[in-house]
């Protein structure tokens, strides 16, 4: 890597760390496109493996200040993450065999769908706390966690943008608690995916170190801002959706051209 690429990798890590602190799992969608199109790492599978590990470490670091602010619901986070890790390993095993352009094209489409979903007004807003958690809710959390984990593993940790809405839907968490709790799943899914990719030699460890270094600084800033915006759920939703949509359109156009669509 050139000196410029090293600088861009650290800067990109800072952006991802900031987005993770601010948006929770949603911030992870930036990791893959930044490394591909800004830093200039050409192999999407190496990018997925490398960013998965770096994002996992940054997610666990950002989890600490969110936990201090009591934005992490640990029981729900664990119930979501453990079956999700099983799904992430299966998804990453399948994703390694899918051609580069196809997986990025599919990723962009899924991002657009979720961006639209997040800004559509919901008929019923989640309560501030989850008062009752019966067996049906636990089953829903486990099943959605496994499905989201598979998607996160298949698309790389970029699929982690599904974790926040997945927690909101399955457990009824408010936005800020879903953001904080999602970081445990982001770290777990990312670590699982990275291990699978590293077995195949698809992790660039220098990039991992640079991403983590930048992400540590960016995460602190993002977490502070998330706490200040905790009462403005719609603002967080719009930020979340806007970032997803812009990146998705860019990736969709670029990969559609490569596929001659």
pLDDT at res. 232: 67
Distance CA 73, CA 261 (A): 44
Give the C-alpha separation, 251 to 261, whole Å. Answer: 13
Residues of the chain by 3-state class (helix, strand, coil), percent to 5: 80, 0, 20
CA nearest 76: which of 185, 187, 153? 185
Tokens 């099983």 — which residue?
Answer: 86
Copy the structure tokens of residue 190. 């990312």
Q: Output the pLDDT for position 10.
A: 94
End-to-end CA distance of the chain: 33
What pLDDT score does 134 carry?
A: 52
Helix (H, G, I), strand (E, B) or coil at 44: helix
* pLDDT tens for each residue of the chain, 261 residues long: 789 999 999 999 998 888 877 777 666 777 888 888 899 888 888 988 998 898 899 889 888 888 988 889 999 999 999 999 999 999 999 988 888 778 878 878 877 877 787 677 655 444 444 444 555 588 999 999 999 999 888 887 766 777 888 898 888 888 788 888 988 998 999 999 999 999 999 999 999 999 999 988 888 888 787 777 666 667 776 877 887 788 788 888 877 766 665
pLDDT at residue 21 in the model: 78
3-state secondary structure 206-223: HHHHHHHHHHHHHHHHHH
- DSSP H or E segment with residue 66: helix 44-68
Name the DSSP class of 128.
S
Model pLDDT, residue 18: 84
Q: Are 162 and 29 in contact (CB under 8 A)?
A: no
Q: Which of 63, 24, 60, 77 minimizes the C-alpha distance to 236?
A: 24
Write down the pTM of the prediction: 0.79
Dihedral through CA 144, CA 150, CA 156, CA 212, nearest 10? Answer: 60
Tell me how far apart the alpha carbons of residues 211 and 122 are, in angstroms, rounded to a whole number.
36
């Amino acid at each position: 890597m050139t000196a410029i690429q090293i600088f861009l990798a650290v800067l990109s890590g800072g952006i991802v760390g900031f987005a993770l602190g601010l948006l929770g799992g949603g911030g992870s969608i930036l990791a893959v496109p930044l490394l591909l199109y800004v830093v200039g790492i050409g192999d999407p599978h190496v990018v997925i493996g490398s960013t998965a590990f770096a994002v996992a470490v940054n997610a666990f670091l950002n989890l600490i200040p969110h936990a201090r602010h009591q934005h992490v619901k640990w029981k729900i986070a664990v119930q979501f993450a453990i079956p999700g890790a099983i799904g992430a390993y299966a998804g990453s095993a399948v994703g390694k065999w899918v051609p580069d352009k196809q997986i990025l094209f599919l990723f962009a489409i899924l991002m657009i769908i979720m961006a639209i979903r997040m800004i559509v007004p919901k008929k019923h807003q989640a309560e501030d706390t989850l008062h009752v958690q019966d067996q049906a809710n636990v089953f829903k959390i486990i099943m959605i966690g496994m499905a989201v984990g598979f998607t996160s593993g298949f698309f790389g940790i970029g699929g982690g943008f599904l974790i926040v809405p997945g927690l909101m839907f399955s457990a009824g968490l408010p936005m800020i608690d879903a953001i904080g709790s999602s970081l445990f799943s982001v770290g777990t899914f990312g670590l699982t995916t990275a291990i699978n990719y590293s077995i195949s030699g698809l992790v660039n460890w220098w990039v991992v170190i640079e991403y983590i270094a930048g992400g540590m600084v960016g995460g602190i800033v993002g977490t502070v801002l998330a706490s200040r915006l905790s009462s403005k759920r719609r603002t967080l939703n719009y930020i979340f959706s806007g970032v997803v949509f812009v990146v998705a359109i860019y990736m969709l156009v670029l990969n559609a051209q490569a596929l001659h669509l």
